[in-house]
């Protein structure tokens, strides 16, 4: 009989703890952080779960000692977020909010993209000790990404404030395009739409009473109001969820103060979806 080598077992155990299940790096491990400046504060860029991500650190700590954060989507490195977000992000960063996002490509909220979102959430909550509950900011097609993740992680969502948010895959990008992102055929996509369509996946969020606020223009031809934010509001209200829809008259899918300099949206985030007298 060969002699036992307990020291070898200890080494192997340590390796497995470091690597985690299946030999993969733990979610808390990421590639080297690159530090720069954006919106007058420190920006960290890193890769987690194979996806590029960013986090803007708050200019100062929140008054109540918490670590709230805004989760923005879609994050498309080099395109979003951009200077149009300065008005909204500036006061949030000044009030102790971090702002972050992860680039999972044009996922349309598919399961692979959702998995990348989970990796990002675990990383920033673990590494930066942010609140386990994020304030979601789904802009346009970011709605497909954030709402599909939120439907499966309602306990990790504090509130949702959206700007002309895509809520229905059939409306945008259409099932033919969406099926390619999901790696399936259009008929199969149609048959399984309820599994992947934000407007049909609201029950868990409503049960958790997650507050929702959407801003949407009634002249939006790209992401029509009725099929998207209005339909989501109707369904969410029917499920007993707290929701407010602000219809912006005469505005379409555009960058303008009514969307990107909205005091109502800023106050919503500062209060984390709760009634508040918070001021920017």
Model confidence pLDDT, tens digit, residues 24-34: 334 445 668 99
Q: Please report whether residue 4 resides in a domain.
A: no
Confidence at residue 25, expressed as pLDDT on a 0 to 100 scale: 38
What is the band of 112 on the pLDDT scale with cuts at 50, 70, 90? Answer: very high
- What's 178's domain CATH number? 3.40.50.1820
H/E stretch holding 13: helix 6-19
Confidence at residue 29, expressed as pLDDT on a 0 to 100 scale: 55
- pLDDT tops 80 at residue 78: no
Beta bridge partners of 37: 42
What is the band of 20 on the pLDDT scale with cuts at 50, 70, 90? Answer: very low
Q: Tens digits of per-residue pLDDT, 228-269?
A: 999 999 999 999 999 999 999 999 999 999 999 999 999 999
Confidence at residue 274, expressed as pLDDT on a 0 to 100 scale: 85
Q: Please report whether residue 276 resides in a domain.
A: no
Q: Tens digits of per-residue pLDDT, 29-65?
A: 566 899 999 999 999 999 999 999 999 999 889 989 9
Q: Tens digits of per-residue pLDDT, 128-164?
A: 999 999 999 999 999 999 999 999 999 999 999 999 9
- How many domains does one find in the chain? 1
Q: Please report whether residue 23 resides in a domain.
A: no
Q: Please report whether residue 251 resides in a domain.
A: yes
Confidence at residue 23, expressed as pLDDT on a 0 to 100 scale: 31
Report d(CA 280, CA 270) in Å as an integer: 8
The whole domain housing 166 covers 34-270
Report d(CA 269, CA 94) in Å as an integer: 13
What is the band of 14 on the pLDDT scale with cuts at 50, 70, 90? Answer: very low
- pLDDT tops 70 at residue 9: no
Q: Please report whether residue 278 resides in a domain.
A: no
Q: Please report whether residue 60 resides in a domain.
A: yes
Q: Please report whether residue 254 resides in a domain.
A: yes
- pLDDT tops 60 at residue 212: yes
Q: Show the tokens assigned to 119.
A: 């990796």
Beta bridge partners of 92: none
Q: Please report whether residue 122 resides in a domain.
A: yes
- pLDDT tops 90 at residue 19: no
If one compares 81 and 263, the residue with the highest pLDDT of the two is: 263
What is the band of 278 on the pLDDT scale with cuts at 50, 70, 90? Answer: very low
If one compares 157 and 3, the residue with the highest pLDDT of the two is: 157
Report d(CA 137, CA 79) in Å as an integer: 16
Confidence at residue 59, expressed as pLDDT on a 0 to 100 scale: 85
Which pTM was predicted?
0.87
List the Cα angle 244/249/254 in 5-degree steps.
95
If one compares 42 and 277, the residue with the highest pLDDT of the two is: 42
Confidence at residue 276, expressed as pLDDT on a 0 to 100 scale: 52
Mean pLDDT of the chain: 89
**Percent of the chain scoring above 90 in pLDDT:** 82
27 alpha carbon, distance to own chain's centre? 17
């Amino acid at each position: 009989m060969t002699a036992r080598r307990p020291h070898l077992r200890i080494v192997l155990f340590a390796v497995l703890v470091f690597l985690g299940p299946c030999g993969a790096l733990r979610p808390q491990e990421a590639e080297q952080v690159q530090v720069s400046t954006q919106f007058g504060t420190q920006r960290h860029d890193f890769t987690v779960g194979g996806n590029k991500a960013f986090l803007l650190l708050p200019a100062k700590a929140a008054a109540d000692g918490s670590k709230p954060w805004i989760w923005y989507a879609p994050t498309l490195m080099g395109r979003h977020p951009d200077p149009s977000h300065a008005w909204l992000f500036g006061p949030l960063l000044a009030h102790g909010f971090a702002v972050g996002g992860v680039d999972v490509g044009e996922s349309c909220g598919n399961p692979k993209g959702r998995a990348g979102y989970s990796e990002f959430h675990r990383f920033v909550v673990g590494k930066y000790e942010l609140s386990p509950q994020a304030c979601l900011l789904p802009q346009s097609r970011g709605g497909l990404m954030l709402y599909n993740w939120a439907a499966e992680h309602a306990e990790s969502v504090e509130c949702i404030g959206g700007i002309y948010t895509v809520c229905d895959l059939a409306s945008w990008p259409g099932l033919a395009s969406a099926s390619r992102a999901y790696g399936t055929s259009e008929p199969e996509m149609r048959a399984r739409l309820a599994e992947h369509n934000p407007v049909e996946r609201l029950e868990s969020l409503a049960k958790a009473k997650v507050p929702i606020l959407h801003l949407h223009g009634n002249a939006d031809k790209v992401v029509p109001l009725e099929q998207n934010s209005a339909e989501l509001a109707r369904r969410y209200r029917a499920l007993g969820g707290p929701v407010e829809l602000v219809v912006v008259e005469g505005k379409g899918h555009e960058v303008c103060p009514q969307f990107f300099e909205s005091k109502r949206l800023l106050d919503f985030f500062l209060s984390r979806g709760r009634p508040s007298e918070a001021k920017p």
